[in-house]
Structure 1
Amino acid sequence: KYPFFPFVKSPRCFHVFPILYFTSYQDVFVVEVTVWMSFDGFSFFFLFFFFTSRQKSEVGRPGSKVTQAEDVMHLAVVACGNRLDETLNMVKSALLFSIKKIKFHIFAEENLAEQFEKGFSQWPQTVSSRFHYSIYPITFSVGNADEWKKLFKPCAAQRLFLPVILKDVDSLLYVDTDVLFLRPMDDIWKFLKAFNSTQLAAMAPEHEIPKIGWYSRFARHPFYGVTGVNSGVMLMNLTRIRSTLFRNSMIASGLSWENLLHPLYQKYKNHITWGDQDLLNIIFHYNPECLYIFPCQWNYRPDHCMYGSNCKAAEEEGVSILHGNRGVYHDEKQPTFRVVYDAIREYPFEENLFQSLFYPLQTKFLDTVNTLCGRIPQVFLRQIEKTMRAVYEKKVVRRVRLPRE
């Protein structure tokens, strides 16, 4: 029985034509459904409108508080010198694809703090409503601050002190400024649930092939595993780090994270090349059960393609997180990396992802096919295309209700 025609048992023809309108997936969606029904020569058209929306959250701003009830991911980055634009582009890439809200912890020199606030204020409200951020000064709780600040690259050693500074944060993802997300941050965040009872951090190997790896050939200090690990993308359970005593080569008993850092640096400072990354390798050399290793696709660097493709996970699934170390976003040595960086930087928020990001990216890749990394465009494009399709699926709301008999 049809409530609007109780005297009719059933129609001879029944057609449904859904038409979808939407602005952005933060706003209101309208679904218009046109129903055509034919009863013994009579035709009727009915229009049904359905509305749905997503509740907007508080606009991201410095010092915004995130309630415990919210399911929030934490991301930390350290920016000094000329790293402002790189950092903003990294944050942009994380927001383009991620699902959950993100709290950014930005450690920056004093002169950059105002520039970060200015940059974020220029983003549309639909974007700023999806994240919070706090900006912190560069600080080191133990040892000589000037010495720490100059270790390897300006301020890079700050990441070692995150468990000490962010005492109220349980877990976070640290990334270098030259990192770009090509899929939701939510996906790497899930690795936290894969940790066993002893694991408290996760990183990717420094290299996949020992005979061409840096640590396996040149290191003058202990390092993790066969090829060492790269700290440009590091997932951390800070609560576990703060509560663990770490074995070391200096004293028989274990040391807490904060008490370990300075004596470790004093012992090895004349033997390390890559600064804080070397110190992390030394720590996990003596505590291998504490480290979870995720595949190279989560920290894909020029080393994975400039000597021939050697990241099997990226060949199969595509790059998940692109790490443009060696300054490749800003020179012509590896143009494939620069193409991705420029495409994300030039993409206008709220524009069509395929028309304004993916298709221009594909076109620019044609100019790189004669380079070492450009020979494998599918490695760079496969995952980001998959991610964009998933974003569109989440934007589209289909709700068609047919009359009940």
Structure 2
Amino acid sequence: MRRYIRALLLCMVFAVFSGVYVYSRLLYSDVSVGGNGAKKVFSPPRVPGGRQGAADKTGPQSSHWYNRYIMRQRGQVEAVGGKPDPPMHLAVVACGERLEETLTMIKSAVLFSIKKLSLHIFAEDQLHASFMEALESWPDFIRSRFNYTVYSISFPSENAAEWKKLFKPCASQRLFLPLILKDVDSIVYVDSDILFLQPVDHLWAFLSRFNSSQLAAMAPEHEEPRIAWYSRFARHPFYGRTGINSGVMLMNMTRMRAMFFKNDMTAVGLRWEELLMPLLQKYKLNITWGDQDLLNIIFHHNPECLLEFPCQWNYRPDHCIYGSNCASAEEDGIYILHGNRGVYHDHKQPAFRAVYEAIRKYTFGADPMKSLLEPVEEELQRTTHTYCGKSYPLFTKRLAHSLANVNRKTSRGR
């Protein structure tokens, strides 16, 4: 009888060890992507109409590159050991020949930012692979500061062609961000010709200054009504005394989606998605600057919804081309440089071009003072024959402070 009991016990022990072995084989055949979450085979997430990170089929096909992407994603999750702080969201639209310009803007954003960035890049399909290859080639200590999604350009199907050709190609995409990014609460939208000269965090902080009715923030188009474009030439309603410039736009999109906007087409308020096409149909023969004009019309009728930030947050050639007329920049320096009118790529405003070229050529990890600040200061001193060049200390005042912080981070081991 005892022999039967011993045999039964041996069978039970063997069965337990066999079960443990089979379970361990099943467990380790998967790839862990998080220290605390479920373990699963890595599958890059999909976003409707977009490409997450660089894991789409149109991206680079190198297995080394792909494995590097997997390891980075795993490391980022494991490093925090739990739920990370929510990132700041930054959106940009790139069409035509805007690839390098957009990458330089992103470079300036991630170089200085403190909190992590989540980038939303809307681009023509032929640019997707180039964006992903460029961003994935950046060093890991920079890549750890941001994640990104590349989206296709998309407009409402019944009027897509009309929206796409409004003003510059694809520029009106920004109007539809609240409808496309439905799970994003707030976002900073910038044109591709923007350069951050200090952390995005400082602009993001304006969200905490919104009162209960404000849902967006922009800078004035001009400071002086006597020489401002809107006050002299506009054939449609516009915000305030000089209008607003939409090259830098901070949006609480949750509020935008919920708001019923006053308008001059109906006595009742209209939601954002109900408002855009009727506005275009009413004013398309009277608008010059496309989607920016539509935003001016909207906030003319809803001024309580807008927070105005100073011109140093959207400093353009208009602020210095005929003499300095941005008081906040004269006091504290330029926070965000906006190279509209193509001034980064011609020789009409060499001060703007000097800053752009210095950031474009800067190599991540190099001494920021010697490799970025000193070259740009030297080049700016050659531009004093222009009105903007005469104000060249404004271009480096904030930049020098930001680069000093980058230097401190580098010296602490990045």
Q: TM over 0.5, yes or no? A: yes
Q: Which amino acid aligns with 2:370?
A: Q
The runs of at least 4 aligned residues of structure 1 exceeding 2 Å deviation read 59-71, 390-398
1: CA distance, partners of 2:206 / 2:158: 33
Contact kept? 1:204, 1:229, Cα under 8 Å: yes
> Against the structure 1 CA distance between its residues 369 and 193, is the aligned structure 2 distance closer, same or farther, given a 3 Å change threshold?
same
Q: Work out which of the residue numbers 378, 384, 408 in structure 2 matches 1:369.
A: 384
Q: In the TM superposition, what is the alpha-carbon distance from 1:182 to its structure 2 partner?
A: 0.2
Equivalence for 1:150: 165
Unaligned stretches of 5+ residues in structure 1: 1-58, 399-405
Give the match's secondary structure for 1:212. Answer: coil
1: CA distance, partners of 2:411 / 2:345: 37
Contact kept? 2:53, 2:150, Cα under 8 Å: no
Contact kept? 2:365, 2:410, Cα under 8 Å: no
TM-score, length basis structure 1: 0.81
Q: Which has the higher strand share?
A: 1
2: CA distance, partners of 1:313 / 1:140: 37
119-128 vs 275-284, greater mean Cα deviation: 119-128
Give the match's secondary structure for 2:91. Answer: strand
Equivalence for 1:61: 53
Q: Which has the higher helix share?
A: 2
Q: Report whether the alignment pairs 1:323 with 2:315.
A: no
> Against the structure 1 CA distance between its residues 62 and 236, is the aligned structure 2 distance closer, same or farther, given a 3 Å change threshold?
farther
Q: In the TM superposition, what is the alpha-carbon distance from 1:323 to its structure 2 partner?
A: 0.2
Q: Report whether the alignment pairs 1:87 with 2:102.
A: yes
Give the match's secondary structure for 2:388. Answer: coil
Q: In the TM superposition, what is the alpha-carbon distance from 1:85 to its structure 2 partner?
A: 0.5
TM-score, length basis structure 2: 0.80
1: CA distance, partners of 2:83 / 2:300: 35
Q: Which amino acid aligns with 1:233?
A: V
- 5 Å-filtered alignment, 1:3-402, equals 61-62=53-54, 69-141=84-156, 143-396=158-411
Using CA pairs under 8 Å that are at least 6 residues apart, name the structure with larger relative contact order, 1 or 2: 1
2: CA distance, partners of 1:314 / 1:254: 38
Contact kept? 2:188, 2:250, Cα under 8 Å: yes
Contact kept? 1:229, 1:281, Cα under 8 Å: yes
Q: Which amino acid aligns with 1:273?
A: T
Unaligned stretches of 5+ residues in structure 2: 1-43, 45-51, 56-72
Q: In the TM superposition, what is the alpha-carbon distance from 1:397 to its structure 2 partner?
A: 5.2
- CA root-mean-square deviation: 1.9
Q: In the TM superposition, what is the alpha-carbon distance from 1:61 to its structure 2 partner?
A: 2.7
Give the match's secondary structure for 1:373. Answer: helix
Identity rate, percent: 61
Give the match's secondary structure for 2:328. Answer: helix
Give the match's secondary structure for 2:121. Answer: strand
Deviations 1:282-305 (A, max 9, x none): 000000000000000000000000
Give the match's secondary structure for 1:385. Answer: helix
Number of matched residues?
341
2: CA distance, partners of 1:324 / 1:199: 27
Q: In the TM superposition, what is the alpha-carbon distance from 1:71 to its structure 2 partner?
A: 2.8
